[in-house]
Structure 1
């Protein structure tokens, strides 16, 4: 090399060395690298950790050797402002020759032989940069892949643990125990150990599989909702109990109404097919009386019992009202048939058949059935239909 070529090469290598050093420091500052470096891992994650540490050690060692060679060339150039042929030859060796000598431990296994005397491998500065580049890219890929999985898992784990803390605080304030919470807490501890110890075991096609954490999160959210309901019950316990008592009073009224309507139907309708009478008010009243204060299960256990009682009371009230409506429907049917009979009579008179003896006979037959207790609704319906047909027949005859 000429003096100018050596100076240009030194300037380029000086800049290259600074940029490589900055890139290595940036790599070590990466969140994924920091997580990997400080963690105690197992399984596949431990294998990746060991591989990254090994490659990182080789990378820094190679960079140190590379930097020493560049520094040696700069020192030589600084000592000789006007280098002669010998100095230029040495600069050429350092800058362009195989001047970076690797110790035996840094020589890749595939480049060693069984009988050869162990010796370090020699690289040019350019070859050293190429090898550092390959090591850097391999480390970066491993760190990025692990960071993608681990960051997702740790983020979801933080959500689940926040949900566990919220549920735990509610449970502590309410007192008592919650078996489902204890089960989910154990499952969370087991899942967290996997996330922190071997996150790559939860990787699927390069992405984090959060299904296990998601299931725990869903379960804890359900527990927290139930505990929050218990907290609301505790804060408004008296009002809730009064509310149930009010529904039970409506239920007793609805059941009494159903019995009264049933008695009326039995008296006024012949051979009615009736649903069973609702009789839940007494049983639910006993359950309400047994609610009392929270026991060993705490307020959340009491909340579940009150909520069940509220649902049962509301359902029983709906059934009682529905049953009363079904029974009353038989009386409504009789009133409907009576109304239709009178409407047909008016129609017959409008058509000029008020004095028709046959129509009068059919009318009286239907009327007797509908106004006799108990009323045979089936026979009355048949008689009414006959009356209607007779009127329609006379109406068609008049049109012809």
Structure 2
């Protein structure tokens, strides 16, 4: 090196700083190698883009450790030399200065960057100062850290979601085994899961978008398996409470038969008592649903999960049919209720006419009798009766206004 050698004090200060620096670099490298992302990268057999990243990380880490080892040997050599000479002379100070501040780190040829080599030069290692060696290690470390952190962010997200999906698959598989039978949708989802799991484990960066994990395929499988699990859980509940479910459907069908019979009876009454009624179609679902109940009451070979869908569908159909039957009966009965309402209003208007002093009014009596005959004659013409009742009301109101004048 050029220039005067360091003093003993300068040597000691520099050596203390370099020893501390060496310890910190070693700690940083060991911490990097213990990082979860680095451990995942080192322990995996990879393909595609992730393998390219793995190769780059391994190459840079090898260079880092080589540089650090050479750097550490020089620091250790300087420390040993200083320890052997408590009162170093000029020769020792010159050697210590060369080691601590001169180009004392000799790189093997393979560590010399390609751009620093020449075609005809005799291959020899590059020499660096300790400071230059640290400067050479720093970007290598930063590149490895960035690569590992980016990969870990993607891989950890994918592995976490994969664990959720596989847990869902195990749950569904256990239910299916307990219930018996096959489930084509479950088989399809398992095939898709195996396919995407292979990508997650071998080339997670293939499932990255803009540096983030793309979990769309895993999410779709998870949603599908959750649906399968819910169906199988419903089948399990059906199996455990099958007799109660069948009794429940039977009770609904009995109510349906009663509601349909009532609708028919009310229809017959309306046809006898109301002229030209507009009626809804009569419900007639009980017999068909009873046949479906008989079919599900004796489980076949499809398995409980297949039967669960049929029972649930039958429950929905029976409840809907009962609601429609009751609604139809209510609509038909409404015509009779309308007649009773008109009859009540006619009598109320007659009482009001009498209270106003028109009990002996011949014209009012004529209109009243006309409306009464329409309402008490079978079949009743509700339209005409309504018109007649409105005329009776208007006549009473006109006489009430005349009396007020």
Indicate whether 1:4 and 2:48 are aligned: no
Deviation at 1:24, TM superposition (A): 0.9
Range with bigger deviation, 326-335 or 17-26: 17-26
**Matches of 1:140 and 1:294 in 2, distance apart?**
61
**Matches of 1:235 and 1:208 in 2, distance apart?**
42
**Matches of 2:59 and 2:351 in 1, distance apart?**
107
Equivalences for residues 140-155 of structure 1 within 5 A: 140-155=145-160
Equivalences for residues 272-351 of structure 1 within 5 A: 272-351=277-356
In structure 2, the CA distance between the partners of 1:356 and 1:115, relative to structure 1 (3 Å rule), is farther
**Matches of 2:226 and 2:205 in 1, distance apart?**
27
User: Of the candidates 358, 379, 384, which is equivalent to residue 363 of structure 2?
Assistant: 358
Cα deviation per residue 1:133-154 (whole Å; 9 max; x = unaligned)?
A: 2211111111111111111111
| TM-score, reference length from structure 1 | 0.98
Deviation at 1:282, TM superposition (A): 0.3
User: Of the candidates 160, 177, 193, which is equivalent to residue 198 of structure 2?
Assistant: 193
Deviation at 1:277, TM superposition (A): 0.5
Residue correspondences, number: 400
2:3 corresponds in structure 1 to: none
User: Of the candidates 171, 174, 177, which is equivalent to residue 166 of structure 1?
Assistant: 171
Equivalences for residues 81-92 of structure 1 within 5 A: 81-92=86-97
1:388 corresponds in structure 2 to: 393
Gapped regions of structure 2 (runs ≥ 5): 1-5
Gapped regions of structure 1 (runs ≥ 5): none
Cα deviation per residue 1:65-117 (whole Å; 9 max; x = unaligned)?
A: 10111122122222323222222111111100111111121112232333433
Cα deviation per residue 1:186-212 (whole Å; 9 max; x = unaligned)?
A: 111111111111111222232222222
2:49 corresponds in structure 1 to: 44
User: Of the candidates 249, 256, 267, which is equivalent to residue 261 of structure 2?
Assistant: 256
Cα-Cα RMSD? 1.2
Question: Does the aligned pair in 2 maintain the 1:294–1:301 contact within 8 Å?
Answer: no
Cα deviation per residue 1:29-80 (whole Å; 9 max; x = unaligned)?
A: 1111100111111222111111111111110111011011112212222232
1:179 corresponds in structure 2 to: 184
2:38 corresponds in structure 1 to: 33
